[in-house]
Amino acid sequence: MNIGFIGLGNMGAPMAANLVQAGHTVKGFDTVGVTVEGVAPVTDVTAAVKNAEVVITMLPNGDILRAVASKAVPAMAKGATLVDCSTVDVESARAVADLAHKAGLLAVDAPVSGGIGGAAAGTLTFMAGGSVEAFATANPLFDIMGKKAVHCGGAGAGQAAKICNNMILGVTMIATCEAFALADKLDLDRQKMFDVVSTSSGYSWSMNAYCPAPGVGPQSPADNAYQPGFAAELMLKDLRLSQRAATSADADTPMGELAQEIYTAFVEHEGGLGKDFSAMLPRFNHRSRA
């Protein structure tokens, strides 16, 4: 395929590189002039999408996505497919899909899970929203960039799945860190704590696959001084998206709301900016109940 790729940051660059390695022709544009081996650099959005069968975007937020789409969609060939892999608000995803449909294009919102490591290894999970036809067009590319793609429903469903998933993740990571901090103050050995919880009713991804305690469980960012695999500020972004969606849908999400408040304090006032989201553990260790 001829592919246009817009947004060659920490996630987009390795995703584009994997497409090139699989034999696709990729043109890429990024506002900071990033270059990726095998990706033909272009100077603007219009050049990136010209003659592309599929255009992939990986952008920071919904406002930027809308701005890029307003330039990309009119320049895309009729029948082409716009695949947005950003994590944005549901309203923006649906607005961009509507813009694409009115221009005779297919559209998929397909945020990812798996982080920078997953992007490099081609093991991302894609949560996709859009028509069956649009998903079928994009799916072979998902197979190259990831290990799994789930068609979640119509426009915006991919974003809905992503923010619901990450609301669970934010809440469970806080609970896991709280439990380790409590165990420490009760003089319970961390390894014994892990051995019990990881094989009983406290089992969770945060505990079993991404344990926030250094030297316990599989290797995780905790074993690298909490250098981010998934930065705390990105978790905060997703929690804010979840609460924006909850407000729009009139959904009661008290744990999600509290998780947002805790990560806001951590990132903005407690030194969490630039650290992994699992660095909540030392944060709780340093705090008392008062």
CA distance 107 to 84: 8
Q: How far apart are CA 122 and CA 116, in angstroms?
A: 10
Instruction: Give the pairing of strands 146-153 and 25-29.
Output: unpaired
Residues with active-site annotation:
162
As to burial, measured by CB atoms within 10 angstroms (0-12 exposed, 13-18 middle, 19+ buried), residue 257 is middle
- Using left for φ > 0, alpha for ψ between -120 and 50, and beta otherwise, residue 23 falls in left
Q: From the CA atom positions of the chain, what is the Rg in Å?
A: 20
Cβ–Cβ < 8 Å for 190, 213: yes
Instruction: Cite the DSSP H helix spans in 148-231.
Output: 157-185, 190-197, 205-208
Task: Please work out, in degrees rounded to the nearest 5, the angle formed at the alpha carbon of residue 207 by the alpha carbons of 264 and 195.
Answer: 145
